[in-house]
Structure 1
Amino acid sequence: MAKLKKKCDERLEHWFEEAMERIKKATGARTQVQLAEVLEVRQSSISDAKRRCSVPSDWFLKLYRSHGLNPNWLSDGQEPVYLNASRGAVAAENLLREAPASYGRANARGRVVQVSTMTGSSADPNVWAPQPTEDLSIPESYHRPELAVLRVDSAAMEPVILRGAFVGVDMAQRQHPDGDLCAVHFPHQGLLIRRVYYQDGQFVLRAEDKSHADLHVPAAEMAARTLGRVVWVMQNLNPLA
């Protein structure tokens, strides 16, 4: 008599998605290709596991050996995250900040990203390089392949963007439609966020706070000085005292 296969019902599908989300977060593998490389399996093996709603036990063993991860945490979320923390690639507290959620609910799933200062870290005043100072958990849907997250250190864009707000800048978007918010580099100042307008062969950068003077950048320099367009803002409009 043929052995009956376990049915992949809604409960098992939910368990599988949560377990795989923990694996991805802990290893930093965000795609099926990357995950296959971490697990040292073919991509088809991951597809087969998803179809069966079953994580092979040898995957848990591999992840313990390679990343020190606790199989019980990977499977069911039971702490501790690590049985061998010295092999951990991501701090346990970061992995525990966000509860796993269904892959189909992008706004319910989070990702921890690094936040940089506006001034950056480069010793060359003509070049901006990120200077990570903290981590931030953002919705998965806010993430972009070329995302830079900045902590705003100026009141120039208030009340639209408050001092201390987090902004997401898509570095793949370097166009300058009139009125859009862009992060632009100024030597010896770092990045400034302004509304950008094109006028008479140059770009005019305007702050929301009119006490800040307009800035002007020659059109020939603008592309090289633009980090990207601001695509989202996270800020507390009513902070607790």
Structure 2
Amino acid sequence: MAKLKKKCDERLERWFEEAMERIKKATGARTQVQLAEVLEVRQSSISDAKRRCSVPSDWFLKLYRSHGLNPNWLSDGQEPVYLNASRGGVPAENLLRETPAAYGRANARSRVVQVNSMAGADGAAASWTPQPVEDLCIPESFHRPELVVVRVDTAAMEPLIQRGAFVGVDAAQRQHPDGDLCAVHFPHQGLLVRRVFCQGDSFVLRAEDKSHADISVPAAEMAARTLGRVIWVIQSLGQQG
């Protein structure tokens, strides 16, 4: 009987993907064929590396010689990006912005973002507009081009999301998969974070706290009311309202 190929564990697979993403960004290689050309290896070598979740050390050496890249940055995101910046084709700051270290690592970068009230700038308006109330430092990997951060001011989603929590909403994601958390706007109420479920020609918005009644919204109105999908929450464990 043929031996089963050993799969990479989740941690090693994540490390490999992050290292390869840094290599691609730094070299401009968009496809596996282009990457093989940059590394001067066969395309099958890249497939083998992916299967093993292992980047050969000589690839790091080649990239230092050809692009001046720091092997430690390629491997683990440890700055500086370049050991020989004169060979670099992409500004280091661009690479750091596009390929942040994973959250939780000592070298992970952060970014200050604007936090808005859920009420918005004009509570009576038909659409929600931001009203800044404070700033928040978040991991760079939490950022998105169309990120909107709001501070929760109700207990409707407790215990899942506590009053006072910071919620990151990706305004580029406006779909409504059943059960997903979305930020939906209502005049005079502001943004409401709810689980959204499709029921026929309408959507039902449901709070975690069952004392809050479900809200039914015609499907034709949801696109205009939806700010985006919730992608992260930052809060203190055991935080009380």
1:120 is paired with a residue whose SS is: coil
Describe the superposition over 1:159-213 as per-residue Cα deviations: whole angstroms up to 9, x where unpaired. 1100000000000000000000000001111000000001121100000000000
Q: Which residue of 2 aligns with 1:105?
A: 101
Letter of the structure 2 residue corresponding to residue 180 of structure 1: D
Structure 1's 105 and 235: CA in aligned 2 closer, same or farther, altered over 3 A?
A: same
Structure 1's 8 and 153: CA in aligned 2 closer, same or farther, altered over 3 A?
A: closer
Offset, 1:9: 6.3
Structure 1's 116 and 8: CA in aligned 2 closer, same or farther, altered over 3 A?
A: closer
Letter of the structure 1 residue corresponding to residue 183 of structure 2: A
Letter of the structure 2 residue corresponding to residue 127 of structure 1: S
TM-score (norm 2): 0.59
Aligned residues: 162
Q: Which residue of 2 aligns with 1:90?
A: none
2:224 is paired with a residue whose SS is: helix
Q: Is the CA contact 2:123–2:190 (under 8 Å) kept in the aligned structure 1?
A: no
Q: Which residue of 2 aligns with 1:131?
A: 131
Structure 1's 152 and 201: CA in aligned 2 closer, same or farther, altered over 3 A?
A: same
- In 2, the alpha carbon distance for the partners of 1:15 and 1:178 equals 41
Offset, 1:124: 4.6
TM-score (norm 1): 0.59
* 1:118-157 pair list within 5 angstroms: 118-122=118-122, 124-157=124-157
Structure 1's 180 and 131: CA in aligned 2 closer, same or farther, altered over 3 A?
A: same
1:192 is paired with a residue whose SS is: strand
Q: Which residue of 2 aligns with 1:72?
A: none
Structure 1's 197 and 104: CA in aligned 2 closer, same or farther, altered over 3 A?
A: closer
* 1:143-222 pair list within 5 angstroms: 143-222=143-222
**Root mean square deviation of aligned Cα:** 3.3
Q: Is the CA contact 1:206–1:214 (under 8 Å) kept in the aligned structure 2?
A: yes
5+ long unaligned stretches in structure 2: 1-67
Structure 1's 123 and 17: CA in aligned 2 closer, same or farther, altered over 3 A?
A: same
5+ long unaligned stretches in structure 1: 1-6, 19-45, 56-99
- In 1, the alpha carbon distance for the partners of 2:86 and 2:81 equals 14
- In 2, the alpha carbon distance for the partners of 1:235 and 1:229 equals 18
- In 1, the alpha carbon distance for the partners of 2:72 and 2:201 equals 61
- In 1, the alpha carbon distance for the partners of 2:170 and 2:70 equals 39
Structure 1's 180 and 49: CA in aligned 2 closer, same or farther, altered over 3 A?
A: same
Structure 1's 217 and 123: CA in aligned 2 closer, same or farther, altered over 3 A?
A: closer
Q: Which residue of 2 aligns with 1:92?
A: none
- In 1, the alpha carbon distance for the partners of 2:163 and 2:80 equals 41
Letter of the structure 1 residue corresponding to residue 226 of structure 2: T
